[in-house]
Amino acid sequence: MQLRPWARRQTRVSVVVPVYDVERYLSACLDSVLAQASRRVDLEVVVVDDGSPDGSGAIADEYAARDPRVRVVHTENRGLGAARNEGLRHVTGEVLAFADSDDVVPPGAYAVLLQALERTGSDLVTGSVARWEDGGLAEPPWMRRLHAQAGASTVEEHPELLGDVFAWNKLYRRDFWESAGLSWPEGVRYEDQPTTTEAFLRARRFAVVPDVVYHWRIRHDGSSITQQRSSLTDLRDRWATKRMALASVERHGSGEVTRVFRDRVLAGDLHRYFDELPGCPDDWWELLHAGVVELWGDRSLTHSGLTPAYRLVGWLVEQGRREDAAAVVEHVRSIGGPLPRVRTAAGPRIDVPVIDPDTVAPAALELRPHEA
């Protein structure tokens, strides 16, 4: 969809850009953010140099020296959450935005978001995202689905939107942010989910646009935290932020929102961790098993939105069947696609020859009507 800026009175949008070890990408990011200014958008950019060891801080200072819309704050390295919070202490705008310094904001994105925010009177607005990988852009189908219907909504009406966990494809009214007491967790990875979850829950209403409003760079050099899932630190932080988000949802008090969140949202990225099972260290396995049992032990991942193969892996992890879970992951990897289907008297199920189906709960093998 073509992004079309909307002309009316200007609103100041304050964009916080945390910076760490991104000198290769920072100019592209800042150029894209600064290009968001229009007759609609009065722009302020607060760059937080989080003790970067490379030339990122100097690049930011060069931008500030030639563009009065850019301010730079230099701090000791404290992590992404702390850098965002520091940036928030220096903003002056009516509306807040966040951009990660290795990503790009497409032309006109903030104008489109701001139009929806003000037209609907919402507390925040969100749009879709395209992954920028190997020189190409692709909008994930699940993001397209979550943002398919433009308009305003509430978490009771659209609970699955809690799966839109990103900080940077949104605009937030500053008065809402401050009155809700929002901030980013510090000293932990995956800080986006607890805060965006709380924001959706606290919003009187939120707006959705179907436009792609952010280009998320996928890096394969090992420097991105999303490339480090096999580490204990990563898994500990993932469980910690999942607990935070789930606690917020449970405090909200809606049984249906909690059910959707636990099944459709909280389990959404587990397949990426299950992929690390073959050959994983003992302590990593123990932490994975403990977290799955803690968060899904009273309901089971067989109810989740994972694909059939990974629902089975999740059930095996719940049961402590490490070798079987790893064998299924390796089998899925060897096939390179969906597992074959078997027709039985009880209905269709997945065919997994590496384990005995008689030792598995039927719910962990069965296919749903749209999967058969």
The 10s digit of each residue's pLDDT in 32-75 is 999 999 999 999 999 999 999 999 999 999 999 999 999 999 99
Write down the pLDDT at residue 225: 52
Show the DSSP H helices in 1-127 as ranges.
26-34, 56-66, 80-88, 109-120
> Which one has a higher pLDDT value, 196 or 226?
196
Tokens of 18: 């945390």
Write down the pLDDT at residue 8: 57
Percent of the chain with pLDDT over 90: 90
Reported as half-sphere exposure (CB side, CA atoms, 13 A), residue 95 has a value of: 25
Tokens of 170: 């949104």
> What does the alpha-carbon distance between residue 5 and residue 61 come to, in Å, rounded to a whole number?
29
| Chain region(s) in the chain for CATH 3.90.550.10 | 11-221
Q: What is the pLDDT of residues 166-218, one digit of tens each?
A: 999 999 999 999 999 999 999 999 999 999 999 999 999 999 999 999 999 99
Q: What is the pLDDT of residues 67-100, one digit of tens each?
A: 999 999 999 999 999 999 999 999 999 999 999 9
> What does the alpha-carbon distance between residue 83 and residue 104 come to, in Å, rounded to a whole number?
19
Helix, strand, or coil (residue 133): strand
Matching CATH number, 11-221, of 3.90.226.10, 3.40.50.720, 3.30.365.10, 3.90.550.10: 3.90.550.10
Mean pLDDT estimate for the chain: 94
Looking up tokens 């404290």 gives 78
Q: Measured in Å, how far apart are the chain's first and last C-alpha atoms? A: 33
Question: Which residues, in sequence order, are CB contacts of 126 under 8 Å at separation 6+?
Answer: 113, 147, 161, 164, 169, 170, 206, 207, 208, 209
